[in-house]
Amino acid sequence: MRFPRCSGILMPISSLPGGHGIGSLGAPAHKFVDFLAAAGQSVWQILPVGPTGYADSPYQSCSAFAGNPYFIDLDLLRADGLLTRRDYALDWGGDPENVDYGRIYEQRFAVLRKACRRFLRRRPVPGCDTPYGDDWYRFQFLASAWLPDYCLYMAIKQENGMVDWQQWPEPLRLRDPAALAAFRAEHDEDLTFWAFVQYEFDRQWRALKAYANGKGVRIMGDIPIYVSADSADAWAGRDLFEMDEAGHPLRVAGCPPDYFAKDGQLWGNPLYDWGYHKTTGYAWWIRRLRHALSIYDILRIDHFRGFDTYWAIPADAPTARTGKWELGPGMDLFNTLRAALGEMPIVAEDLGEMFPSVRKLLADSGFPGMKVLQFAFTGQDSPDLPHNYPQHCVAYPGTHDNNTLAGWWQNEVSAKGRAQAAAYLALTEAEGFQEGLLRGVLSSTADLAVIPMADWLGLGSAARLNTPGEAQGYWRWRALPGACDKALAARIRALCARYFRCPAP
């Protein structure tokens, strides 16, 4: 896959202004699409849209397939006659620049249950043989490979106080058929609720994607390479992972000590049993990517290097230091995926410790990799300096794991690095360091340049989305209402047009 020369913006759904405590798929997202179009942007990059799990991280989700219930727009449910204003006229948090996940968790599901009850009380649709409309049944049919297990997982989890599935009663934890059948019979209403939540997410998501595509904007989605240990995928598919008979991980994922963390990162995700996946013809991966490519125009795969070699850590290790490198599936996986799915519009997150074998896998796959300007100013001729970018890549000033440009410039880059950046990019006070750094990315030869929204807004470290290795307090930043205005769109378009990434204003 090759991009035409273009540019995009990285903006999580959660960070959109408006909505009720968090960005949503309704007016907040549609307005942002309008902003992107006015700014001449071709790509909207988002973070994973699955239900958030541990520490509210989108990279620790309870499902590799489900959508985040928090993103369902409540105003759209009201427009459909499923809610009244009074149903959700609640306190969703007092800080418009930060998501209050605790408050949303406590209130959102009760509101969605009201919507579900009204949905199920609806009269039959005229001219339709099914009581809730053909779309309801069509969605369940198309999602049949994952939806029943997800709904069952969520219903059992709720029944058990939302604890990790490995703490459930043994018959349910080990998926005893009789125990599961009895639970289904007694909790039909709960199972229907969780299916309804995914149905509404899917409806609103597909409407948003159609709107974006109609405005000339493609959505770049993101999937973590691994699934969460506490997930429907791990509970229902233990054969897919390195687990013992009781479902406990034998080894877990992470990465060795690096730029971000001196002890490495202990993610805790169960590792794939790649030998088993090969015997199935990588069937689960084909399902996963088929689903992802059905909802995104472009797909970024996080931690791509893990398909070549991955860091395997004993499950009882206190840090990631005691891990060791193991061989991943390599091109065998991607050749199989291509045979099943055709050419795939994938971007490979190829950051981290790079072995020659990882570079070879990236080249053999044909996927574009990533370049990050914040890594460039080491005093050496770094591959992250713009003059070294291949055209077939995606260039960033920083990613969701980096500080904002302003925060990095003020707090992280060394004096020598700052001097190198000033000389390399001919930074001036008149232009400003931030504009000059963005110019460096946009003027590069990279086919696609993606700028985080917080950098266009010139925000400091308070707008940082994540710090790898630190578990708490991240993924919360939101843009203020009115921040993405016409003047900013015109400024973005002018700078991108200067470097032929969009038509001139």
- Find the catalytic residue in 302, 308, 350, 384: 302
Q: Distance (Å, rounded) from C-alpha 268 to C-alpha 317?
A: 10
Active site residue 364: no
Measure the CA–CA gap between 263 and 257, rounded to whole angstroms: 5
> What is the H or E stretch that residue 388 is in?
none
Give Dmax over CA atoms of the chain in angstroms: 72
What ranges make up the beta strands (E) of 171-289?
A: 218-223, 251-255, 265-270
- Catalytic pick among 349, 384, 447, 455: 349
Task: Give the residue from 165, 139, 141 showing the smallest Cα distance to 152.
Answer: 165
3-state secondary structure of 421: helix
Enter the DSSP assignment of 58: T
> How many Cβ atoms sit within 10 Å of the Cβ of residue 316?
11
Return the percent helix, strand and coil in the chain, to nearest 5. 45, 10, 45
3 state DSSP class of 172? helix
The rounded distance, in Å, linking the Cα atoms of 301 and 1 is 14
**Which one of 202, 233, 350, 401 is the catalytic residue?**
401
- The span from the CA of 69 to the CA of 115, in Å, is 13
129 is catalytic: no
Instruction: Identify whether 401 is a catalytic site residue.
Output: yes
CB atoms within 10 A of CB 183: 18
Active site residues: 302, 349, 401
